[in-house]
Structure 1
């Protein structure tokens, strides 16, 4: 009898192992069935426009299965793009509570900060982003999002606290943004200290705003050599800004030959319309109206432009009274046409305006709104 018992023990063990395995499989299948049922239910709610119920149903799955994080991130981003920030926040907050690998957790934290920003919850967004400035993969994105908050709240001084972090990145746009916000902070304090403005201009050569602020302040203080240096730097590195910079340079009282050389370079090398118009004035003053007219005709053949045509009309009217009488109505039409045209355009988003903005009102990028070129441009 005892021998029979020992013979039956392996059979009992094998039976127990087999039944246990079946039980585990049964639980796994039951769990999967539950997940599938909840997922199907959630998708059905989405398809029937019952989004609140869908979110509740899908969020329950996070307690069971955390391997589908990317799916939830995509869903939350979809809600954010639609403007349903509360739904996006709920999903990202739920994901943020999960114990995930650090890179994935930081990415979710960044997405949640973007939700808060979109919903106008700037304080919450800032608290999350501050912790991401030192994250290697997200530092640049976190700084850009932080700067968006400071732009919205006009907290320019806060932006200056991140100067070291900006310099550790390779982002040119972040450097330009920081320089512009520094200029905004100085403007808010009514600071026209030439030494401070000069230091700011030297700290970010890629930015135009500090050089422009330095030049205008120097002109107000009758420091024309300093103003000329700053303005020449702008037109030499950013000739597309000549339409706004050349009138200021005229106030610096450049020597006739220096003025001629500068205008010639901008007109012939860069085909700048404003430079061509001013060069025609120089030729009419130092040469003859005929020379200026021939110059404008040559340029018009090379580069059709309404403003060059307008200047040609003005020159011909100055030559004789009959011409002035005959062309006055044409000039009025040209003036009316140009009066309705935009003067600036954002190279980033295409926003057009007759007023200059250092910060594009449309895409919120610094120094992208530039004088327009082309047939109607300056």
Structure 2
């Protein structure tokens, strides 16, 4: 009998292990069934427009199952796009409480910061983004979001704190933004000097704003040499800006031959309307009105332009006294037409305006609002 007992012990142990395993499986299945019920219930609330109940139901799952984070991120982003920032914030804040690997935690911080920004909670958003700037993956996006906060609050001086971080990225737009925001900070603090602007213009060579402000400041102090240097650099690298740069360069009193070469290059190589008009004026002054008129007629055949036609009317009006009155009436109509036309457009979003903005009011891009070209352009 004792021998039989020893034989039955392994059987009993095996039976206990088998039953225990089944018990664990049963608990797992029960837990998964509970998750499925909660998830189904939450989705049902969403489908029946009971979003508050849906969020409560779905957030309960976070305490049970953290592997579905991407699903929650997608749901929160959907709420943010719909303008339901409070719902997006509740989801992201719940996710933020979980203990997750650093990359995923930083992603959630970034998304929560965007929620706060959308809701106008700039201080909270900034505190989160400061930590995300160190992320090798999200650094550029985090810096752009931070700069959006500084634009909204006009705390331009804060941008300088992230100069090194911007330099570590490959973003051209971030460097342009940095140059503009530091220029705004100098103006805001009334410490705009030739030295400070020269430093910015040197560090951010592709930015227009520091050089443009430097030229204007130099002209106000009768430093035409410095102004001409800054303006010539802009027009060489950004010919489209000639409409705004050439009138300032006229004040620098460049040598006649240098001025002529500059206008010829812009008129013939880049088809700039303002350069063509000024070159016609130069021909009238140094040659003859007939030569200027023929030059304008040739250009009008190549590129129809209302402003070139306007200049042609002015020359003919001066040449022909009998026709002056009729041409004057036509010129007034042309002027009235042009007075209603936009002078600038944003290359990024298409926003149009008669006033120049360094920061596009529509898409919030720096230095994207440029002089308009085309039949009505300059």
Separation (CA, whole Å) in 1 of partners of 2:119 and 2:61: 26
Q: Following superposition of structure 1 onto structure 2, how do residues 52-67 of structure 1 map, counting pairs within 5 Å?
A: 52-67=52-67
* CA–CA separation in structure 1 for the residues paired with 2:10 and 2:129: 62
Measured after TM superposition, the shift of residue 202 of structure 1 is: 1.1
Alignment-derived partner of residue 8 in structure 2: 8
Is the aligned partner of 1:361 residue 2:364? Answer: no
Residue of structure 1 in register with 2:296 after alignment: 296
Residue 243 of structure 1 is matched in structure 2 by 243
Name the counterpart of 1:109: 109
Q: Secondary structure at the match of 1:131?
A: helix
SS of 2:322 mapped into structure 1: helix
Q: What is residue 232 of structure 1 aligned with on the other side?
A: 232
Q: What's 1:147 paired with?
A: 147
Name the CA distance, whole Å, in 1 between partners of 2:230 and 2:61: 61
Equivalents in 1 of 2:339, 2:153: separation in Å? 35
Task: Report the more deviating stretch, 157-166 or 186-195.
Answer: 186-195
Q: Which structure 2 residues correspond to residues 1-378 of structure 1 after superposition, within 5 A?
A: 1-378=1-378
- How far apart, CA to CA, are the structure 1 residues paired with 2:208 and 2:261? 23
Distance 2:175 2:92 in 1: 30
Task: Find the residue that maps to 2:370 and give its secondary structure.
Answer: strand
Q: What are the Cα deviations for residues 231-262 of structure 1, in whole angstroms up to 9, with x where unaligned? A: 11110110111111110001111111111110
Query: How many equivalent residue pairs?
Result: 378
TM, length-normalised to structure 2:
0.97
Larger CA deviation: 75-84 vs 10-19: 10-19
CA distance in 2, matches of 1:191, 1:101: 45
Q: Aligned partners of 2:301 and 2:60: how far apart in 1?
A: 71
Per-residue deviation, residues 244-298 of structure 1 (Å, max 9, x unmatched): 1110001111111111110001001111111111111111111111111111111
CA distance in structure 1 between the partners assigned to 2:307 and 2:238 by the alignment: 21
Q: Distance in 2 between matches of 1:333 and 1:70?
A: 61
> 1:250/1:21 Cα in 2 relative to 1: closer, same or farther (>3 Å)?
same
The answer to which of 229-238 and 150-159 deviates more is: 150-159
Q: Could you list the runs of 5+ residues in structure 2 that have no partner in the other structure?
A: none
RMSD, matched Cα: 1.2
C-alpha distance in 2 between matches for 1:102 and 1:310: 64
1: CA distance, partners of 2:76 / 2:366: 29
Alpha-carbon separation, structure 2, partners of 1:190 and 1:127: 28
Distance 1:324 1:24 in 2: 102
How big is each residue's C-alpha offset from its partner over 1:52-88, in whole Å with a ceiling of 9 and x where there is no partner? 1111111111111111111111111111111111111
Range 182-191 or range 368-377, more displaced = 182-191
**Residues 86-120 of structure 1 deviation map (CA, whole Å, 9 limit, x = unaligned):** 11111111111111111111111111111111111
Per-residue CA shift, 1:7-31, capped at 9, x if unaligned?
2222222222222222122212111
TM-score normalised according to structure 1 size: 0.97
Matches of 1:28 and 1:192, distance apart in 2: 68
Unaligned runs of 5+ in 1: none
* Aligned equivalents of 2:351, 2:171: Cα separation in 1: 23
